[in-house]
Amino acid sequence: MFLGAILFMLIFVLLAPQSRAFLGNLTVNFAAFLTAWAPFSYVLLLVLISALFAGLWLIHSWPKYVEPENPMAKYRRDSPLEED
């Protein structure tokens, strides 16, 4: 399922030096942001991660769809079986 996404990431993203430099710079800047805004950034990160798990829990606990009964089904006649 994830094979195509992994191959795309390995071939097109990680092999290009510009994209590797961009991803490394993005990671360094994010770490600097976390340490510079320490109490607020950790709370924001906690809210984002908890929203992820709350969404997953909501999806898994959502009630299953039950097909409504056809009210005309009791009036339908079954056709006789035709044998050759």
Residue 70: inside a domain: no
Q: What is the pLDDT of residues 58-81, one digit of tens each?
A: 999 999 988 888 888 777 766 666
Would residue 66 count as lying in a domain?
A: no
What's the pTM? 0.49
pLDDT in tens, 19-45: 889 989 999 999 998 899 889 989 999
Residue 72 lies in a domain: no
User: Residue 68 falls within a domain, yes or no?
Assistant: no
Number of domains in the chain: 1
Q: Which residues span the domain enclosing 26? A: 8-61
Assess if residue 26 is contained within a domain. Answer: yes
Residue 78 inside a domain? The answer is no
Q: What is the DSSP string of the chain?
A: --HHHHHHIIIIISSSHHHHHHHHHHHHHHHHHHHHTHHHHHHHHHHHHHHHHHHHHHHHHSPPP-PPPPTTGGGPPPPPPP--
- 13 found inside a domain: yes
